[in-house]
Structure 1
Amino acid sequence: MINETMIQYFEWYLPDDGKHWQHLAEDADHLKELGISKVWMPPAFKGTGSNDVGYGIYDLYDLGEFHQKGTVRTKYGTKEDYQAAINALKERGIMPIADIVLNHKSGGDDKERFQVIRVNPDNRQEKISEPYEIEGWTHFHFPGRQDTYSDFHWHWYHFTGLDYDALHHETGIYMILGDNKGWAKNESIDLEKGNYDYLMFDDIDFKHPEVAAHLKEWAHWFLETVAIGGFRLDAVKHIDREFMAGFIRYIRQHIRPDLYVFGEYWKDSNYDMTDYLNDIELQYDLIDVMLHMNFYEAGQKGRDFDLRTIFDDSLMASNPQFAVTFVENHDSQKGQALESTVAEWFKPLAYGLILLRQEGLPCIFYGDYYGVKGDFAQAAFQEVLDQLCYIRKHHVYGEQVDYFDHGNCIGWTCLGNNEHPAGVAVVLSNSEAGWKEMSMGSLNSGKVFIDYLGNCSEEVVIGQDGWASFPVQGGSLSAWIDKESLLF
Structure 2
Amino acid sequence: MANETMLQAFEWYLPADGHHWRRLQEEIPIFQKLGLTKVWLPPAFKGTGPNDVGYGVYDLFDLGEFDQNGTVLTKYGSKEDYLSLIQSLKEAGIMPLADVVLNHKASGDSKESFSVLRMDPANRQSPLSEPFEIEAWTAFTFPGRRDTYNDFKWHWYHFTGVDYDAKHDESGIYLILGDNKGWADQERIDNENGNFDYLMYDDLDFKHPEVVSHLKDWAKWFLDTSQAAGFRLDAVKHIDSEFMAEFIRYIRSDINPDFYVFGEYWKNDAAMTQDYLEQIDQSFSLVDVVLHMNFYDAGQKGSQFNLSAVLDGSLMQASPDLAVTFVDNHDSQRGQALESTVEEWFKPLAYALILLRQQGLPCIFYGDYYGISGDFAQQDFRELLDKLTFLRQHYVYGEQNDYFDHPNCIAWTCLGNEEHPDGLAVLLSNGDKGWKKINMGTLNQGKVFIDYLGNSTDEVTIGQDGWAEFPVEAGSVSAWVDRDSLVN
Rounded to whole Å, the distance in 2 between the matches of 1:243 and 1:47 is: 24
Residue aligning to 1:193? 193
- 1:255 aligns with 255
Q: Structure 2: how far apart are the matches of 1:49 and 1:19? A: 16
Q: Deviations over 1:163-199 (max 9, x none)?
A: 0000000000000000000000100100000000000
Supply the distance in 2 between the matched residues of 1:91 and 1:288 (Cα, whole angstroms): 29
Once the two structures are TM-superposed, the CA of residue 88 in structure 1 deviates from its matched residue by 1.3
CA–CA distance in structure 1, aligned partners of residues 198 and 442 of structure 2: 58
Aligned residue runs from structure 1 range 223-372, under 5 A = 223-372=223-372
User: 2:405 and 2:313 mapped to 1: Cα distance?
Assistant: 18
Structure 2 counterpart of 1:259, which letter?
F
**Is the aligned partner of 1:74 residue 2:60?**
no
The aligned amino acid for 1:37 is T
* 1:65-214 to 2 correspondences below 5 Å: 65-214=65-214
Deviates more, 1:100-109 or 1:458-467: 458-467
1:487 positional shift: 5.0
Q: Which residue in the other structure is 2:58 paired with? A: 58
Shift of the alpha carbon at 1:245?
Answer: 0.3
In structure 2, C-alpha distance between the alignment counterparts of 1:260 and 1:450, rounded to whole Å: 38
Whole-angstrom distance in 2 between the partners of 1:195 and 1:351? 35
Determine the structure 2 residue equivalent to 1:484.
Answer: 484
Cα separation, 1, equivalents of 2:254 and 2:81: 28
Q: Distance in 2 between matches of 1:386 and 1:363?
A: 14
Provide the C-alpha distance between the structure 1 equivalents of 2:82 and 2:21, rounded to a whole number of angstroms: 6
Mapped partners of 2:24, 2:180: distance in 1: 44
Q: CA RMSD in A?
A: 0.6
Return the letter of the residue paired with 1:14.
Answer: L
Instruction: Give the drift of 1:444.
Output: 0.4
After TM superposition, the score normalised by the length of structure 2 is 1.00
Question: Following the alignment from structure 2 to structure 1, what is the Cα–Cα distance between the partners of residues 390 and 94?
Answer: 17
Distance 1:44 1:85 in 2: 12
Equivalence for 2:409: 409
Shift of 1:279: 0.7
For residues 241-299 of structure 1, give each alpha carbon's deviation from its aligned partner in whole angstroms, at most 9, with x where no partner exists.
00000000011000111000000000000000000001100000000000000000000
Partner of 2:2: 2
Q: Distance in 1 between matches of 2:247 and 2:423?
A: 42
Gaps of 5+ in 1: none
Give the structure 2 partner of residue 26 of structure 1.
Answer: 26
Quick one: which amino acid aligns to residue 45 of structure 1? F
Contiguous gaps of at least 5 residues in structure 2: none
Hey, what's the Cα distance between the residues in 1 that align with 2:343 and 2:320? 25
Name the CA distance, whole Å, in 2 between partners of 1:131 and 1:162: 14
CA–CA distance in structure 2, aligned partners of residues 375 and 455 of structure 1: 30
What's the CA shift for 1:87?
Answer: 1.1
The CA distance in 1 between the partners of 2:147 and 2:204, in whole Å, is: 20
Q: What are the equivalent positions in structure 2 for 1:386-465 lying under 5 Å apart?
A: 386-465=386-465
Change (3 A) 1:106 1:487: farther
For residue 473 of structure 1, what is the aligned residue in structure 2?
A: 473
What is the match of residue 41 of structure 1?
Answer: 41
Letter in 2 for 1:248: I
Residue identity in the other structure for 1:75: K
Deviations 1:324-358 (A, max 9, x none): 00000000000001000000000000000000000
Equivalent position amino acid for 1:264 in 2? E
In structure 2, C-alpha distance between the alignment counterparts of 1:212 and 1:365, rounded to whole Å: 32
Deviation of the 1:23 alpha carbon: 0.6
SS of the equivalent of 1:160 reads strand
The number of equivalent residue pairs is 488
1:65 is displaced (CA, Å) by 0.5
Q: Secondary structure at the match of 2:468?
A: strand
Distance 1:353 1:346 in 2: 11
Q: Which amino acid aligns with 2:364?
A: I
For 1:149, what is the secondary structure of its paired residue? Answer: coil
Give the match's secondary structure for 1:99.
strand
Within 2, Cα distance between the matches of 1:30 and 1:337?
31
TM-aligned CA deviation for residue 226 of structure 1: 0.9
Deviation digits for residues 359-408 of structure 1, max 9, x if unmatched?
A: 00000000001000000111100000110000001000000000011110
- CA distance in structure 2 between the partners assigned to 1:487 and 1:266 by the alignment: 43
Distance 1:414 1:49 in 2: 49
Cα deviation 1:448-471 (Å, max 9, x = unaligned)? 111000001111111001111111
2:36 counterpart letter in structure 1: I
* Partner Cα distance (2:423, 2:145) in 1: 55
In 2, the alpha carbon distance for the partners of 1:22 and 1:470 equals 45
TM-score (norm 1): 1.00
Deviation (angstroms), 1:33: 1.1
d(CA) in 2 for partners of 1:215, 1:464: 63
The CA distance in 1 between the partners of 2:452 and 2:87, in whole Å, is 34
